[in-house]
Each structure stands twice: as C-alpha cells, then as structure tokens.
Amino acid sequence: MKVAVFALLAALPFATAVPTWEGLNGRSSIGSLIPGASQITAKGPVAKPTEVKHLTVHEPGTIGNITIKPETRSGSPMFYINQNALWLLVNETTVYPVNIHNSTGFHELPMQLVLGKQRQGVTAGTWRWKGTQLYYDMPGGQSNMGLYFHCLTKSGQFNTFMSPVPVAPPNGCQMMTLHSFTREYK
C-alpha cells in the first residue's frame, strides 16, 4: 500500500523524517506528524490501571495475529483509518491493513483481527472513530458498538476478536474497548 502512505505524507510539508515503528522508543510524537495516527489503547478488565496495553502484533515488525500487549522498549505501533480500513503504520513507505478473518469455523466469535500485507478477508464494513473509541460497522446497520475480545486460543496465544453485533464474552475471552487518546481531532 505504498500509494496510500505517499499520498498521506505528500500532504505534509514537514514529514521528511517519520520515525519508524521499531524506532519509536514509545515516546514519539509521530501521532502529530501523521494526522489521525496514534497508538490504540485497550480498556477493560484486560488493562490494570498501572499497566497500559496497546494494540499490536505478537512479534514487533512482523505480520500476524493482532493482540494487546504492554508497551515494549521499541514502542507500540501507530494506527490510522483511511478509506474505511484500519492501517498499521510500519515506516515512511509502508502500511499494513488490520484484516478481519472470518473465524466462524474455529471460534465462538466470528471475526478475528489479523495484520496482513494486503487487504483480505471481511472487507464489507467500516472502521471509524466515535470520540476516542474504535468502532466497526457492517452494512445494514450492524455494529460491534466498540466491543472487542481478548481471547486465549488453541494456539496458546491471546488474540483479538470481535462480533458484528454486541455479544457477551465467550469462555476464555475478556471484553475490552479500544481507544485513541492522542489522535488529533478533526
């Protein structure tokens, strides 16, 4: 998705040296350089008041299942919404989409968030911000109402799931909401 990021950066007169995901040191002001880009913070039983958890992948710098983790020394990735999709900002030339895999066949919750190199899976819906909160709306009026689930899966990992309509957390899952607290409001 080089085109999208170039278009984004071309609009910024001063964006000559955007810090990379691996080089953010967790304290970067990249959110103010890329309009609308920010870390995404989980709220709910998954997050203790003393330990902030962010949306990320299991192995920094790789694609794969989305999860939430405490901030590491290399920082947590930044995300933004463009053309109804949610993107992870890798570096100044690359963004990766947060895809929705149809998990109906192997999980009680029908949608799993997976970082991919290209958009695939369920693409019918729309990511949006409602205040600080991240929502996913499906055509026809369904919405996850900003609810996500942190679930222990058979692979032994905690991964991130959601449902096109609000549901109670299945066994092995904790409910959470996802927020952008540093995004520039437009």
Ligand X SMILES: *[C@@H]1O[C@H](CO)[C@@H](O)[C@H](O)[C@H]1NC(C)=O
Residues at the contact surface with ligand X, assessed by CB under 6 A: 20, 64-65, 90-94, 102, 104, 110, 112, 122, 153, 155, 157, 159
Quick one: tokens of 68? 């939430």
Query: Do 175 and 45 contact (CB within 8 A), yes or no?
Result: yes
Distance of closest approach, residue 61 Cβ to ligand X, in angstroms: 7
Quick one: tokens of 114? 């997976």
Q: Whose Cβ is closer to ligand X: residue 94's or residue 182's?
A: 94
Q: Whose Cβ is closer to ligand X: residue 76's or residue 132's?
A: 76
Distance of closest approach, residue 138 Cβ to ligand X, in angstroms: 7
DSSP three-state, residue 100: strand
Q: Whose Cβ is closer to ligand X: residue 132's or residue 137's?
A: 137
| Of 90, 86, 23, 26, nearest in space to 53 by CA | 26
Distance of closest approach, residue 181 Cβ to ligand X, in angstroms: 26
Distance of closest approach, residue 36 Cβ to ligand X, in angstroms: 20
Q: Whose Cβ is closer to ligand X: residue 52's or residue 74's?
A: 74
